[in-house]
């Protein structure tokens, strides 16, 4: 089992998503509290005034990752080149070196404001992979694609795991491993989450999301990001570090956001799990000091 620190990503440690509603309440945090932050670029591109100034203060204080919402990589419509170029400018402006998106789609002639499942077919593998390659070329960065939650599988010709692995390999991109989505899908589609996790490519997994869901029924979970992470998802994150090493991990919380002290308890839970595996491996490095080494290397470049 791999239990060392995964140093292949521009951020390390445990992160938190930054929302506009949190700009004031997170202002006193430092990298001792949160190693990095994540934003959806679509919510911040072109933003000026007070919010723009506050956001700049955060990007000068914390390392950042961008997690997109609107790339719609599996859509039948052409890629939105204007959006992609705007994202590149945003990443360059704020010195953000990591961009991730969803292995799904959310648009055709207009935006649907939901993540729709891509058909698990061989044709879709090559279609999506070619679009990912094109986005990587425009952004001049490798991107990581997230395994998403889904509630139906139209025109399914292969399994979810085979589809994800085929796209990642064909596109030569990285994997954003969403632990909660694996747990949700394992119940909704009746498979073993650990077995699924063990089939993902170790060398491609560079970043992790952890969140929670809503129990709609005994056999139906809905991905929500609206409450505290539950024990089985923490256990799956623990297993993730066991297999993939200590990968930078973000706590996702999108609504019903609690006071900052409560959010930080869950960030600390991530840090504690990470440190447990670093201690077990005998790795003397910590996510924070590795992050600073990476920052220095990026500056030298």
- Domain boundaries, given as residue ranges, for the chain: 14-300
pTM: 0.87
For residue 289, the surrounding DSSP H or E stretch is helix 287-300
> What's residue 110's pLDDT?
55
Degrees (nearest 5) of the Cα angle 169, 290, 261? Answer: 100
> What's residue 38's pLDDT?
97
Burial-class residue 281 by CB neighbours within 10 Å (0-12, 13-18, 19+). Answer: middle
> What's residue 284's pLDDT?
47
pLDDT averaged per 10 residues in sequence order, the chain, 301 residues: 65 95 94 97 92 95 96 93 97 96 77 75 97 97 93 86 98 96 90 96 96 65 70 96 96 87 96 95 52 39 33
> What's residue 169's pLDDT?
98
Q: Give the SS3 label for residue 268.
A: helix
> What's residue 212's pLDDT?
73
Options 3.20.20.150, 3.40.50.620, 2.60.40.3080, 3.40.1050.10; CATH of 14-300:
3.20.20.150
174: Cβ–Cβ under 8 A, 6 or more apart, which residues?
Answer: 142, 143, 144, 145, 168, 204, 205, 206, 207
Token output for 226 = 């609206």
For residue 115, the surrounding DSSP H or E stretch is strand 111-116
């Amino acid at each position: 089992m791999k239990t060392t620190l995964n140093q292949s990503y521009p951020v390390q440690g445990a992160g938190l998503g930054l929302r506009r509603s949190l700009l004031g309440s997170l202002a006193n945090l430092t990298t001792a509290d949160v190693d990095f932050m994540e934003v959806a670029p679509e919510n911040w591109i072109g933003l000026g005034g007070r919010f723009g100034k506050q956001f700049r203060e955060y990007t000068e204080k914390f390392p950042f990752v961008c997690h997109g919402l609107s790339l719609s990589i599996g859509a039948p419509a052409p890629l939105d080149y204007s959006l992609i170029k705007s994202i590149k400018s945003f990443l360059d402006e704020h010195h953000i070196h990591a961009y991730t998106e969803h292995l799904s789609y959310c648009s055709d002639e207009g935006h649907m404001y939901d993540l729709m499942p891509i058909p698990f077919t061989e044709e879709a593998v090559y279609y999506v992979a070619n679009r990912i390659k094109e986005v990587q070329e425009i952004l001049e960065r490798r991107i990581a694609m997230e395994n998403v939650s889904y509630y139906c599988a139209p025109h399914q010709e292969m399994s979810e795991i085979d589809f994800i692995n085929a796209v990642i390999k064909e596109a030569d991109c990285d994997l954003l491993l969403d632990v909660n989505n694996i747990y949700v899908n394992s119940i909704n589609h009746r498979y073993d989450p650990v077995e699924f996790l063990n089939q993902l490519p170790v060398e491609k997994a560079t970043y992790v999301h952890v969140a929670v869901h809503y129990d709609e029924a005994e056999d139906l979970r809905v991905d929500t990001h609206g409450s505290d992470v539950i024990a089985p998802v923490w256990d799956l994150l623990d297993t993730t570090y066991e297999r993939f090493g200590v990968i930078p991990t973000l706590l996702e919380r999108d609504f019903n956001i609690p006071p900052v002290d409560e959010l930080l308890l869950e960030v600390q839970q991530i840090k504690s799990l990470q440190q447990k595996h670093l201690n077990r491996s005998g790795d003397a490095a910590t996510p924070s000091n590795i992050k600073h080494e990476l920052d220095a290397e990026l500056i030298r470049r």
